[in-house]
Structure 1
Amino acid sequence: MADAAGRLATLAEEVLGTPLPIRIRAWDHSETGPPGAPTLVVRRRRALRRLLWTPGELGLARAWVSGDLDVEGDLYDALGRLAGHLWERDSATPRQSRLTAALQVLRDPRRRAAVRTFIALAGPGLPPPPPREEARTTRRGPLHTPRRDKEAISHHYDVGNDFYALVLGPSMVYSCAYWDGPDTTLEVAQRAKLDLVCRKLALKPGQRLLDVGCGWGSMVLHAAREYGVSAVGITLSEEQASYARKRIADAGLTGQIEIRVQDYREVPDGPYDAISSIGMAEHVGAARYAEYTGILHRLLKPGGRLLNHQIARRPEPDEETYHVDEFIDRYVFPDGELAPVGRTVSQLEEAGFEVRDVEAIREHYALTLRRWVARLEASWKEAVRLTSPGRARVWRLYMAACVLSFERNRIGVNQILAVRTPGDGASGLPLRARDWRE
């Protein structure tokens, strides 16, 4: 097929209503597009069959993960140029992105010429099966049952501790770091975040800390070592728990820290003096959030503090149009849900908490993600060896896209400090609420 790139560019302009802002190189080595721009490489015709049969983000994701699509040049630049097509909602069908709405046009029999062109470019046959990295969790029945949550967590986190160590570095912290500036090292910034959480919780020797979604144990290790607390960390990931227990044993803190493979709904041994929840609440889901906040409230002693560190999305004009990104849902965080920060604050208050401080740190997450992407790209062959080419491609695209989402204020991240204020109203906080900064 002669000049496949030119025909693709013409077709894209017809269905999108605007020229593509990047170059295209097709399987026949033809190339077209603005000089100097990043290049979208369509390595195989089956990429188009994936899009033809599954129009939208999911078909695009399958083509990317399988390696049928690639980007040459600056990935951030490419995603930034395509952001309007990938992220913006279509005004007529706000549940869909502009890309999905445009591709649905190809199913309109009135667009026969465009359909014929697309089919001819895609070639004969059905698309191949989805890449094996696509979530195979039990996607039936109610969201966020303990079994379904455990499967979703396993999909994301049980992909190899060595892979995560390569991306995250020695801190093994998989949440937003806290930066003094862009020249700070990742390790220093992650330690600063853990210490900030401990100071906001006002941890003291002898107190009991519960870390909900403890990951590889970094928070409980820091709190026990630096603040003398007795800590319990819970996770649904067997691999995380095994790794955390070894770290704790190596640090000589086995008698001070316990790691459990346990659902937050099954913690039996409150009350705790303090609770940290760092990057975990995104997995809880809207249907279970009131239950989640209620459980944390019951697990805290009167006067105890909760630090909830959580990614937030922007409110939608009509919340019923909230669109779950299919790439994220199938390949990254199955069943994950983001909520606006105002809703989270309201639900904490409805559970009985007094919310005392909200700190928005979205720029910090963009800096963190850029470091993770750089680490992944610098050790790409090793990352592929430790997981699979598809898994490494998932993480690179996911993290790079999230950089732009945080930088462009599409999503944010907030630390919310809340207190189970006792009946006499004594919160236990200083008059100057942010003295932990000094």
Structure 2
Amino acid sequence: MKAILKTLAETLHRADPSVDFAFRFWDGDEVRFGKHPRFTLHFRSEASGRSLMAQRFFGFGEAYTSGEIEVEGDLRELLRLGLNINFDNLVPGFLDTIRGIRAYLKTRGTPGGAKKNIAHHYDRGDEFYRLYLDETLTYSCAYFKDLAEPLEQAQLNKYDHIARKLMLKPGERLLDIGCGWGGMLIHAARNYGITGVGNTLSENQCRYATRKLKELGLDRQVSVVLKDYRSLKGEFDKFVSIGMFEHVGREYIPAFMKKVASLLRKGGLGLLHTIGFERVLKGKSWHETYIFPGNYIPRIDEVLHQMGRVGFSTIDVENLRLHYAYTLDRWIENYERNEEKIRRMFGDAFARMWKLYLYSSSAGFKYGDNRVFQFLFSNGLNNDLPITREFVYSDDDR
């Protein structure tokens, strides 16, 4: 096993010879590349090495969470080199296939299954999320006009970027599917005078958002309901969904689009903000199993195809590119400042798992296949829109 791991180390070195690093094994033996390692990957047992080689990032994630693998130094550099060799995108083996089938059966996005999946990730208490999110409790990609600006401002930038795309006007009814802690609804009500409804399956988020709206005196304009999107009713002028679509599940994408089409008035504008890929990825990921059960990241062509099937007219598609990596890096800074507190709250294994989730997500947006898209569309043809993008960007200070 040690010889195989040394071969892996040589492969990482070839991927970028400029990076000094080391592998340290369970018996104290060590292999080094360069004099000043940016990171040292420490295998505390032979089993942890076998797990890594047999299950790739999935095995690495399990061993890192349990403490059987330690990373001393720069975890980002290790993850970057791993992505450079596409270590986790190999053809899935038998274990991956069996795991994928089991996970699918346990975490399907049925109304009951979706609620359990959301509770697994989001119902850990506001105190926890306050430790690494910003004051708005926004849990999605921010929009940085200046990398020196605070995270909270970048999140407000994102909400305004979306509001301008949707051309929100006073009195319009806005539907926010998967509204989280209510940040978009609050911004739209305060700054654009809309009325509207948001939904979430998280009891924790619903309680917080309802209380916050009342505190701000906005509860007569907008409300948040604890409902599955499939049970929503009404007609709305505008639609938005930010970071919820990843939880729908592949088999339910057609039903999601059909439901949105039934709620958005003809000619009404919608914006779907979602993580996405540009190609097919293989295997069942560690993130899907331990962080976001029931998660499915769609390809851009899948989204456009399903929009077309229900009669949506695509107006604009924007790739926010590195904005999510910058967002995650801010979350990581906040997380590490509070890591000991998180460890006391949830235990060492959880603290390590969540840290790896944040770091690996950042690496995925910087060096891997992760993207975040904003799809602007209308429900049927709408020729009354401006013919350029100036209505989105004209007042920006860039």
Equivalence for 1:305:
269
Residue of structure 2 in register with 1:289 after alignment: 253
Deviation at 1:169, TM superposition (A): 1.7
- Structure 1 residues 289, 189: CA separation in 2 closer, same or farther (over 3 Å shift)? same
8 Å CA contact 2:51–2:59 kept in 1: the answer is yes
> What is the aligned residue count?
381
1:311–1:412 contact (8 Å) kept in structure 2: yes
- For residue 327 of structure 1, report the CA deviation from its aligned partner: 0.7
Q: Distance in 2 between matches of 1:342 and 1:158?
A: 32
Please tell me whether the aligned partners of residues 47 and 69 of structure 1 are also in contact (alpha carbons under 8 angstroms).
yes
Q: Look up the match of 1:132.
A: none
| Candidates 206, 211, 222, aligned match of 2:171 | 206
Would the alpha carbon gap of residues 141 and 178 (structure 1) be closer, same or farther in structure 2, given more than 3 Å must change? closer
Question: Is 1:431 matched with 2:390?
Answer: no
1:342-381 CA distances to partner (integer Å, 9 max, x unpaired)? 2211211211111101111111111111111111112211
- The letter for the 2-side match of 1:225 is R
Distance (Å, rounded) in 1 between the aligned partners of 2:368 and 2:61: 23
Rounded Cα–Cα distance in structure 1 between residues aligned with 2:349 and 2:276? 27
Q: Relative to structure 1, is the Cα distance of residues 429 and 388 closer, same or farther in structure 2, using a 3 angstrom cutoff?
A: farther
Q: How does 1:224-303 map to 2 (within 5 A)?
A: 224-268=189-233, 270-303=234-267
Summarize the Cα distance change of 1:260–1:41 in structure 2 as closer, same or farther, 3 Å threshold.
same
SS at match of 2:89: coil
Equivalent in the alignment of 2:17: none
Query: Which deviates the most, 395-404 or 229-238?
Result: 395-404
Aligned to 1:131: none
- CA RMSD of superposed structures (Å): 2.6
- Encode CA deviations 1:243-291: one digit per residue, 9 max, x unaligned: 21222122122222211111111102x2111111001111112211111
User: SS at the partner of 1:362?
Assistant: coil
Identity %: 34
Answer yes or no: is 1:416 the counterpart of 2:375. Answer: yes
Residue 350 of structure 1 pairs with residue 309 of structure 2? yes
CA distance in 2, matches of 1:376, 1:344: 33
Larger radius of gyration: 1
1:123 is matched with which residue?
none
Shift of 1:83: 2.4
Alignment of 1:146-157 (within 5 A): 146-157=111-122
What is the CA-CA distance between 1:18 and the residue it aligns to? 3.8
Specify whether residues 95 and 48 from structure 1 end up closer, same or farther in structure 2 by C-alpha distance, changes over 3 A only.
closer
TM-score, normalised relative to structure 1: 0.80
Deviation at 1:141, TM superposition (A): 6.8
More off after superposition, 241-250 vs 356-365? 241-250
Counterpart of 2:42 in 1: which secondary structure? strand
Partner-residue secondary structure (3-state), 2:269: strand
CA contact (8 A) 1:362 1:413 kept: yes
Please, what TM-score do these two structures have when normalized by structure 2?
0.88
Give the aligned partner of residue 112 of structure 1.
none
> Shift of the alpha carbon at 1:409?
4.9
